[in-house]
C-alpha cells in the first residue's frame, strides 16, 4: 500500500499541499465567494417575501375598498328606495287629492243635473196637467156637450194624475 | 496499487521548507486541479442575478444544501460554519469525482488524493481542532461535561465518561479513515475487476466470456456505486463535522 510505504517520504509534502490547497479553497471560495452567493439567495428571498407582502397588502386594500364600496352601494340603494317610496307616496297622495277633487266636481255636476232634471220634470208635469186639463174639458164638451170649468178640469186631472 | 503512488512532478524533488521535503507531486497537482474546478464551478454561480440561470441555480443549491445541513444540525449558530463546511464538502466531493473520471482513456493518470490518509487526516484533524477550539472557547472547562451525557446514573460515573472520552478521541481517526478506506477500497475493487477482465481475456475466448463478461458487468455497476460513494463520503464527512460542531456549539 503506497499510502504506508511512502508515508515517511511523502507525509510532509502531502500535509503541506493539502493545507495550502484547502486554505485556498477556504479563504478564496468559502470565505470570499460563498457569502456572496448566499447574499444573492438571501436578497432574492427577501425580495420575494417583500413582494408577497406587498401583494398581500394590495389585496387587503382591494378587499377593504370593495367592502366600502359595498356599504356605499347599499346605502345609495337604500336612499334610492326611500326616494322612490316617497315619490310613490307623494304621487299616490296627489292622485287621491285630484281624484277627490274630480269626484267632488262630478258629484256637484251630477247634483246640478239632477236638479235640472227634476225642474224639467216638474215643468213638464205642469204642462202635461195643463194640456191634459184642456184636453179633458175639450173631450167632455165634445162628448157630453157640457162646458167644464177650467179650474174643475185642472183639479180633476191633477187628481187622476197624482192618484 | 500504482494508482496510489505519489511521484514528484516537474523536477521539484528538491523543494524543501525547514528541512521537510515538499515536492509538487501528482497528489498536489490533483489538489490544484480540484481547486481550479471548484473555483470555476462557484465562479460560474457568481453572476448574482435575481432570476438565476442553471449554473447559478446549481451553485446556490449547493450552498443552500450546506446551509440547510448546518441549520438542521446546529441551528442558527451554524450559519458561521457555512464557509468551512462548504469548502470541506466541495473539496472532498470534487476530489472524489475527479479521481473517478476515466481519464486513463486519454493517457492521463487520475489521482484520488482523498485515498491518502495523510490528506484525509489533515482534513479530519482540522475539523477536530475546530471542534476543540470552539468548544473550549464557548464553554471553557464546562466543555468536559460533554463526556457526561444527560441521565447518567451516579454509580456509572466511573465508566460512562471514559467511554465518551474514548469515542470523542476516536472521532478524527474515524473521520479520516472512513474517507480514505472508502475511496481506496472502491478504486482497488475497480482495479481488481479490470485485471480480471484483462487476464481472462488474455487466457482465451472461453475464459474471457466466462469470467471477463461478468466481471465487466459488475465493474459497470460498481462504477455507478463509486459515483454514489464519492458523494456519500463527502456528505458523511461534512455531516459528521457539523454534528461534532453541534456538540461544541450547543453541548448536547
List, as one string, the DSSP characters of B41-66. Answer: HHHHT-S--SS--HHHHHHHHHHHHH
Nearest to B112 by CA among B23, B180, B190: B180
Per residue in B169-181, pLDDT (tens digit) is 898 999 899 999 9
Cβ contact, residue pair A22, B5, below 8 Å = no
All cell numbers assigned to A97: 287629492
At residue B48, φ and ψ (nearest 5 deg) are 55, 40
The pLDDT value recorded for residue B252 is 67
**B120 or B14: which carries more pLDDT confidence?**
B120
Nearest to A38 among B20, B63, B117 (CB): B63
Q: Is B25 on the interface with A (CB under 8 A)?
A: yes
Could you write out the DSSP letters of every residue in A107-120?
Answer: HHHHHHHHHHHHHH
Scan for cell 514528484, then name that residue: B8
The helix/strand/coil state of B17 is: strand
Sequence-ordered list of residues with C-beta below 8 angstroms from that of B147, at least 6 positions apart, any chain: B160, B161, B164, B165, B168
Dump pLDDT digits (tens) for A40-51: 888 899 999 999
The angle at the Cα of B95, spanning B89 to B99, to the nearest 5 degrees, equals 150
> Does residue B182 sit at the A interface (CB-CB below 8 Å)?
no
Instruction: Check residue B80 and give its pLDDT.
Output: 86
* Nearby residues of A28 by Cβ (< 8 Å), 6 or more positions away: B39
Pick from B23, B24, B42: CB nearest A29: B42
Contact call for A14 and B118, based on CB within 8 A:
yes
List the 5-34 stretch of A: residues with Cβ below 8 A of B.
6-7, 9-19, 21-22, 24-26, 28-31, 33-34
- Angle between the N-to-C axes of helices B54-73 and B82-100, in degrees from 0 to 180, rounded to the nearest 10: 120
Measured distance CA(B186)–CA(B192) in Å, rounded: 10
Burial B98-108 (b: 16+ CB within 10 A, else e): bbbeeeeeeee
Across the interface, whether the CB atoms of B25 and A25 are under 8 A apart is answered: no
Q: What is the pLDDT of residues A110-131, one digit of tens each?
A: 999 999 999 998 888 888 888 8
Given a cut of 70, whether residue A163 has pLDDT beyond it is no
| Eight-state DSSP code of residue A149 | P
Mean pLDDT for chain A overall: 89
pLDDT tens-place string over residues B180-231: 999 899 989 988 988 888 888 888 888 778 888 888 899 899 999 999 999 9
Q: How far apart are CA B226 and CA B101, in angstroms?
A: 11
For residue B224, count CB atoms less than 10 angstroms from its CB and return exposed for 0-12, middle for 13-18, buried for 19 or more.
exposed
pLDDT at A92 over 90: yes
Band of the pLDDT at A65, cuts 50, 70, 90? very high
Cell numbers given for A4: 504506508
Taking residues B73-94, report their average pLDDT.
89
B25: helix, coil or strand?
strand
Radius of gyration of chain B (CA): 22
CA distance A4 to A25: 27
Chain B neighbors of A17, CB-CB under 8 A = 22, 24-25, 27-28, 31
Q: What's the confidence (pLDDT) of residue A133?
A: 82
Residue A76 has a pLDDT of 96
Do A17 and B28 count as a contact with CB atoms less than 8 A apart? yes
Structural domain boundaries in chain B:
2-250
Amino acid at each position: 500500500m503506497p499510502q504506508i510505504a511512502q508515508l515517511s517520504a511523502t507525509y510532509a509534502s502531502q500535509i503541506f499541499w493539502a493545507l495550502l490547497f484547502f486554505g485556498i479553497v477556504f479563504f478564496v471560495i468559502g470565505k470570499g465567494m460563498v457569502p456572496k452567493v448566499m447574499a444573492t439567495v438571501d436578497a432574492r428571498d427577501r425580495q420575494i417575501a417583500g413582494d408577497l407582502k406587498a401583494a398581500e397588502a394590495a389585496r387587503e386594500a382591494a378587499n377593504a375598498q370593495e367592502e366600502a364600496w359595498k356599504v356605499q352601494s347599499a346605502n345609495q340603494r337604500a336612499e334610492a328606495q326611500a326616494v322612490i317610496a316617497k315619490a310613490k307616496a307623494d304621487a299616490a297622495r296627489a292622485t287621491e287629492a285630484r281624484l277627490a277633487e274630480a269626484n267632488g266636481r262630478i258629484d256637484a255636476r251630477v247634483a246640478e243635473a239632477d236638479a235640472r232634471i227634476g225642474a224639467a220634470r216638474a215643468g213638464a208635469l205642469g204642462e202635461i196637467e195643463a194640456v191634459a186639463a184642456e184636453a179633458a174639458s175639450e173631450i167632455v164638451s165634445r162628448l157630453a156637450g157640457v162646458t167644464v170649468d177650467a179650474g174643475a178640469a185642472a183639479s180633476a186631472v191633477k187628481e187622476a194624475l197624482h192618484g | 496499487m500504482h494508482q496510489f503512488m505519489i511521484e514528484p512532478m516537474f523536477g521539484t524533488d528538491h523543494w524543501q521548507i525547514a528541512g521537510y521535503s515538499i515536492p509538487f507531486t501528482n497528489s498536489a497537482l490533483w489538489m490544484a486541479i480540484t481547486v481550479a474546478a471548484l473555483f470555476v464551478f462557484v465562479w460560474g454561480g457568481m453572476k448574482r442575478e435575481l432570476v438565476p440561470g442553471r449554473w447559478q441555480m446549481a451553485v446556490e443549491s449547493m450552498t443552500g444544501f450546506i446551509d440547510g445541513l448546518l441549520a438542521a444540525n446546529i441551528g442558527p449558530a451554524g450559519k458561521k460554519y457555512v464557509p468551512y463546511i462548504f469548502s470541506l464538502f466541495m473539496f472532498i466531493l470534487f476530489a472524489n469525482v475527479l479521481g473517478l473520471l476515466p481519464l486513463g482513456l486519454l493517457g492521463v493518470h487520475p489521482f484520488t488524493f482523498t485515498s491518502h490518509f495523510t490528506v484525509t487526516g489533515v482534513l479530519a484533524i482540522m475539523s477536530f481542532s475546530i471542534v476543540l477550539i470552539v468548544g473550549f472557547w464557548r464553554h471553557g472547562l464546562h466543555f468536559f461535561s460533554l463526556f457526561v451525557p444527560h441521565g447518567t446514573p451516579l454509580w456509572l460515573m466511573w465508566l460512562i465518561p471514559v467511554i465518551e472520552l474514548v469515542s470523542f478521541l476516536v472521532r478524527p481517526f474515524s473521520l479520516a479513515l472512513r474517507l480514505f478506506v472508502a475511496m481506496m477500497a472502491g478504486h482497488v475493487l475497480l482495479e481488481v475487476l479490470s485485471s480480471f477482465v484483462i487476464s481472462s481475456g488474455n487466457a482465451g475466448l472461453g475464459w474471457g466470456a466466462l469470467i471477463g463478461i461478468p466481471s465487466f458487468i459488475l465493474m459497470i455497476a460498481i462504477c455507478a456505486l463509486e459515483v454514489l460513494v464519492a458523494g456519500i463520503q463527502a456528505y458523511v464527512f461534512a455531516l459528521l463535522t457539523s454534528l461534532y460542531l453541534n456538540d461544541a456549539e450547543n453541548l448536547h
